[in-house]
Amino acid sequence: MTEEALHRALGLTDDEYALVEGVLDREPNHLELAMFAVMWSEHCSYKSSRLHLRRLPTSAPQVLVGPGENAGVIDAGDGVAIALRIESHNHPSAIEPYQGAATGVGGILRDVFTMGARPLAVMDPLFFGPPDDARARWLVEGVVAGISGYGNSVGVPTIGGELTFDEGYAQNPLVNVLCVGALPRERLVLGRASGVGNLAVLLGSRTGRDGIGGVSVLASAGFAGADGATSLDEEKRPSVQVGDPYEEKRLIEACLALLDEGLVVGIQDLGGAGLTCAASETAARGGVGMDVDVTAVPLREAGLAPWEVMTSESQERMLAIVRPEDLAAVESLCRRWEVRSAVVGRVTAPVPDAAGRPVGMLRVRQGFDGPVLAEAPAAALADDAPLYDRPRARPDDLDARLSDDPADEPAGDVGAEVLASLVDPAWVHRQYDSQLFLNTVVGPGRDAALLRLAGPGLPASERGFALTTDSNPRWCALDPRAGTALTLVEAVANLACVGATPAAVVNCLNFGNPEHPEVMWQLSEAVDGLAEACVATGLPVIGGNVSLYNESGGRDIDPTPVLGVLGLVARLVAAPPGWAWREGDTVVLVGPREARPDPFPLAGSLFARRRGRTGGRLGDLDPRALAASRFVAGEVARVCAGGASPVAAVHDVSAGGLAVALAEMAAASGVGLAWARPRGHAELFTEAPGRFVVATRDPAALTAAAAAAGVEASVLGTAGGGRLTLGELCDLAVGDLAERRASALPAALGL
Amino acid sequence: MSRVGVVVFPGSNCEHDVVGALTTLGGRAELVWHAETDLAAYDAVVLPGGFAHGDYLRPGAIARFSPVMGAVAALAEAGRPVLGICNGFQVLTEAGLLPGALQKNRGLTFLCQPTTLVVASTRSVLTRAAALGQELVVPINHFSGSYVCDDATYLALVERDQVVLRYRDNPNGSRGDIAGIANEAGNVVGLMPHPERALSALLGSADGRVLLEGFLAAADDAAGARALVAAP
């Protein structure tokens, strides 16, 4: 194969090949080409999205580290910092669900403990096709088992994440993973090399042939799909890495101990693009060079070529930058944790380029002082991938879709619609250890998870933190800009239900093929929508991940920006109210009863989707919804702090609308509700976010407090009896609601 | 005050939770690395939950060969309290310090959920402070928690009052709804549920307290007995 053909096989375009030649001022050799190919892949370089991501607001007083490092970090008070990161492992999970999902967990944990933080919790937003065929069930069961098998064993609780079933994900499931960790503020470390003469020490697993080309072959191209070409996708399976949670567990403990004892000056995980990425990024960030001895890398099998060693994505490896005088102590600590360590490189001084500017060179050598096999500026690999402003096009049929509003859909059988919308994800969540570290106050399956901010090695604190992941592909398919903005409003409302004030956002932008102009338009719009909502809420984006090429058989997924939002609770000594109301409670809708401009928009709702209606206009980003969230968060926070509030139960209105929120609360409490006068089925099924069902024993106090905060509160009825009655539209037995909710998922999976 | 050692195998993950729980209850607990071969300084020992040695081969199969296990056996032999929680229970059965074995859950999935336990015997270092028939809500968190043993062993367990905790609603297919057992002397106890996860209403249940308080009291008794022996 000629070099020309080789670069294409590695995933580089002809233009990119020419750029590499320009950087090196010569023809690259095979090894150099392989290194550029992985570093300049879409997955590693964000070359199609970076231009747009710059429009996101990233600063706020609480931000200690923003986007660009391994994880974002905020100051949580009391000397504790919180690190947050979200990633996708969509493509590997579609090919090999167990290992794909498992290594997704492993990778995100390394991103977080790289910052010096102990990983405290993981969340997994999952999107599958309808689980009604054998392959879909294999994917669901494999992904959940992979998260469970890896996460439980590695010793980090998994505290939830959404579970979405939709036809659009049948061939291209989405497996996102978010991790939060905490650290004493002063221990914050960054992934950079410094100190000429310092050593680069590779920690953890030996390097094998697994995952070679994962970022370029697998994650930066679509799938052939189920059109008879699935066998082509099967051939990609060797590009999926294999995880070992036991290795990772020891690696976490060893690295945190190394950081505790001040034995490393910088540390970086090896993920996508392997050693090439870790070496070039640490060197580029530190403005230094690095020599890597490719023969010093411990191998799983003999005979790996240098390009394989440099691009392997073998899991459970870290690169630590160590002062020579600390090496013995590092090795001894690693031995205790049975973690392999090997000196594979050393930090070198930058050398002047033709213009006399200092350039840190990444050199791959055969032996420390042996021949140079590859040589390139570290920053060229890590930072200088081409930036693409790919063509964007507003879809031709957009206007037609926007004008096709489902407001004219008849109500149909409202009771059947409610029952069909009830799904308890407990079958998934039961498989996750959600309690380790004794922090979990509200676990998976509720509006948001709520945890104490405590853990081994952290200063004592009564603070708490809350986490939610949210997405709404139905909204975003319709209007990616408004849909993404409303998704953030929904996330903030979820946090409010557990008393948390939002503090930071991370995003995982799952989109289709960026070479399709409509997909690039969706991405650009979604970024603008997120930016608008961040400005409206005063929230910074502290990190993110972009997953493109989510397509199969030429069909792109619906735009699926997933937002992970971290909230803080100042004092957490009592559990917040749950969903269960009691006989005699007054049930109140807190927040705007009517949205704007339409009072009860059905566009983008589950109700409309079930009827094949995918058009219409979403509601506006409503400041009244944000005010309602602030009010509810304040009231619930008082309960968490051990004080009193008229809020006795609370749940926000989301997928399925008010009808489903009420049904879920009735099912959770075993007590019914009679709501005499809903204003038609659209009020029951509209999903405008930032509205809350609150149950109270003191309606006068609740409405007075809401009025004082300028928030609307509308009494719906009184809890009691054994039936959920919504005017003339719906009358269901509470027992049926509970039974249907519990059995829906196992029944769908055929269990 | 007694000293409780909490053994850390590579792959253990509940060790900090157990130390925290015992400390909250007024005890004195310390982490002990699995390479330790002398536990003479400790009045009692806990093998915590997690995945010792990665659960390679099967849970507990490699941990039983860890250097510390000889000292654990000696402590058990000397009548001092030994408690295995979850993975620790699996290790104790593999090490032959408790009879039977733990196999994969009926249903073949991991289960993390609250369970209601019924105290079946108070003749053990774990259940001595509880009341017979008392119901306790304590979470489980395991893949391999279904207790199995042969008929003769089961009859002997029942006859000698060694079944200390049973599930009210069996979640995993355990023989005889067994959630925890003791050795004949009652000083070695293994259970699959996690009492350290049920220490406060904030986290869902405080019912684990009566179990760990009983264990700490037993550790104090052991410390007292040693002091008597040591006294001239």
Domains of chain B: 4-230 (3.40.50.880)
Q: Predicted confidence band at A140 (pLDDT cuts at 50, 70, 90)? A: very high
Judge: B11–A249 Cβ closer than 8 Å, yes or no.
yes
Which of B16, B21, B113 lies closest to A456 in CB terms?
B16
Q: In chain B, which residue's Cα lies nearest the Cα of A431?
A: B110
Higher pLDDT, residue A222 or A155: A155
Instruction: Say what the pLDDT of residue A457 is.
Output: 85
Which of B53, B56, B202 lies closest to A573 in CB terms?
B202
| Section A491-506 average pLDDT | 98
Instruction: Say what the pLDDT of residue A212 is.
Output: 76
Q: Please check the confidence at residue A185 and state whether its pLDDT lies above 50.
A: yes
CB neighbour list of residue A81: distance below 8 Å, 6 or more residues apart: A64, A73, A74, A75, A117, A182, A183, A184, A185, A188
Answer yes or no: are the C-beta atoms of A365 and A294 closer than 8 Å.
yes
Answer yes or no: are the C-beta atoms of A588 and A532 closer than 8 Å.
no
Judge: A148–B202 Cβ closer than 8 Å, yes or no.
no
Answer yes or no: are the C-beta atoms of A526 and A557 closer than 8 Å.
no
* Most A CBs within 10 Å, among B14, B112, B113, B197, to test the A interface: B112
Q: Name the active-site residue from B53, B86, B142, B149.
A: B86
If you compute the radius of gyration of chain A from its CA atoms, what whole number of angstroms results? Answer: 26
Encode pLDDT of A18-40 as tens digits: 999 999 999 999 999 999 999 99
B23 at A interface, C-beta within 8 A: no
User: In B, residues 27-46, which contact A (CB 8 Å cutoff)?
Assistant: 33
- As a whole number of angstroms, the distance between CA B97 and CA B88 comes to 11
Encode pLDDT of A719-729 as tens digits: 999 999 999 99
A57-71, A214-228, A479-493: which has the minimum mean pLDDT?
A214-228
Instruction: Say what the pLDDT of residue A5 is.
Output: 79
Nearest to B76 by CA among B230, B203, B218: B218
Judge: A246–B56 Cβ closer than 8 Å, yes or no.
yes
Which of B20, B54, B203 lies closest to A441 in CB terms?
B203
A233-242, A517-526, A546-555: which has the minimum mean pLDDT?
A233-242
Instruction: Say what the pLDDT of residue A234 is.
Output: 54
Mean pLDDT of chain A: 93
Instruction: Say what the pLDDT of residue A193 is.
Output: 83
- As a whole number of angstroms, the distance between CA A280 and CA A465 comes to 35
CA terminus-to-terminus distance, chain B: 20
Measure in Å the smallest separation between the Cα of A435 and chain B Cα atoms: 7
Judge: A153–B11 Cβ closer than 8 Å, yes or no.
yes
| A12's tokens | 């580089």
Instruction: Say what the pLDDT of residue A231 is.
Output: 44
B17 at A interface, C-beta within 8 A: yes
Strands (E) across A89-161 are located at 118-123, 126-128
- As a whole number of angstroms, the distance between CA A27 and CA B170 comes to 68
Q: Please check the confidence at residue A2 and state whether its pLDDT lies above 70.
A: no
B230 at A interface, C-beta within 8 A: no
Encode pLDDT of A277-298 as tens digits: 999 999 999 999 999 999 999 9
Q: Predicted confidence band at A4 (pLDDT cuts at 50, 70, 90)? A: low
Instruction: Say what the pLDDT of residue A459 is.
Output: 86
User: In B, residues 113-132, which contact A (CB 8 Å cutoff)?
Assistant: 113
Q: In chain B, which residue's Cα lies nearest the Cα of A159?
A: B112
| Section B77-106 average pLDDT | 98
Coil, helix or strand for A316?
coil
A254-268, A483-497, B37-51: which has the minimum mean pLDDT?
A254-268
Burial of B61 (0-12, 13-18, 19+ CB in 10 A): middle
Contacts of A456 in chain B (CB under 8 A): 16
Q: Please check the confidence at residue A54 and state whether its pLDDT lies above 70.
A: yes
* Most A CBs within 10 Å, among B106, B109, B142, B194, to test the A interface: B109
Encode pLDDT of A314-370 as tens digits: 999 999 999 999 999 999 999 999 999 999 999 999 999 888 999 999 999 999 999
Encode pLDDT of B125-146 as tens digits: 999 999 999 999 999 999 999 9
Contacts of A437 in chain B (CB under 8 A): 16-17
Instruction: Say what the pLDDT of residue A226 is.
Output: 43
| Section B212-232 average pLDDT | 89
Judge: A433–B11 Cβ closer than 8 Å, yes or no.
no
Measure in Å the smallest separation between the Cα of A269 and chain B Cα atoms: 20
B67 at A interface, C-beta within 8 A: no
Side by side, the strands of the sheet bearing A317-322 are: A266-269, A317-322, A199-204, A341-348, A289-293, A361-365, A372-377
Q: Please check the confidence at residue A239 and state whether its pLDDT lies above 70.
A: no
- As a whole number of angstroms, the distance between CA A138 and CA A60 comes to 43
Beta strand A289-293 with A361-365 is parallel
Q: In chain A, which residue's Cα lies nearest the Cα of B139?
A: A435
| A488's tokens | 């953030």
Instruction: Say what the pLDDT of residue A230 is.
Output: 45
Which of B21, B53, B141 lies closest to A435 in CB terms?
B141
Judge: A153–B54 Cβ closer than 8 Å, yes or no.
yes
Answer yes or no: are the C-beta atoms of A588 and A694 closer than 8 Å.
yes
Q: In chain B, which residue's Cα lies nearest the Cα of A426?
A: B113
Q: Predicted confidence band at A227 (pLDDT cuts at 50, 70, 90)? A: very low
A66-80, A212-226, A525-539: which has the minimum mean pLDDT?
A212-226
B11 at A interface, C-beta within 8 A: yes
Percentage of chain A with pLDDT > 90? 88
Beta strand B4-8 with B29-33 is parallel
User: Does the pTM exceed 0.90?
Assistant: yes
| Section A596-616 average pLDDT | 95
Which of A337, A433, A441 lies closest to B202 in CB terms?
A441
Q: Please check the confidence at residue A1 and state whether its pLDDT lies above 70.
A: no
Measured CB to CB, residues of chain A less than 8 Å from chain B are: 145, 148-149, 152-155, 244-247, 249-250, 336-338, 429-438, 440-441, 452, 455-456, 572-575
Nearest to A177 by CA among A244, A110, A107: A107
| Section A249-267 average pLDDT | 94
For residue A136, what are the CA distances in angstroms to A221, A392, A576, A735? 21, 32, 36, 30
Angle at CA A456, nearest 5°, toward A454 and A458? 55
Is B34 labeled as catalytic in the residue annotation?
no
| Section A541-546 average pLDDT | 96
Q: Predicted confidence band at A697 (pLDDT cuts at 50, 70, 90)? A: very high
Instruction: Say what the pLDDT of residue A647 is.
Output: 98
Measure in Å the smallest separation between the Cα of B17 and chain A Cα atoms: 6
Instruction: Say what the pLDDT of residue A238 is.
Output: 57
What is the set of active-site residues of A? 43, 89
HSE on the CB side for A308, CA within 13 Å?
14
Q: Name the active-site residue from B15, B94, B196, B213.
A: B196
Measure in Å the smallest separation between the Cα of B36 and chain A Cα atoms: 12
| A216's tokens | 């370029």
For residue A745, what are the CA distances in angstroms to A633, A749, B220? 31, 6, 49
Reported ipTM: the value is: 0.96
| Section A194-213 average pLDDT | 90
Q: In chain A, which residue's Cα lies nearest the Cα of B53?
A: A246
Instruction: Say what the pLDDT of residue B104 is.
Output: 97
| Section A237-253 average pLDDT | 84
A194-198, A535-539, A739-743: which has the minimum mean pLDDT?
A194-198
Q: Predicted confidence band at A191 (pLDDT cuts at 50, 70, 90)? A: confident
* Most A CBs within 10 Å, among B6, B202, B205, B209, to test the A interface: B202
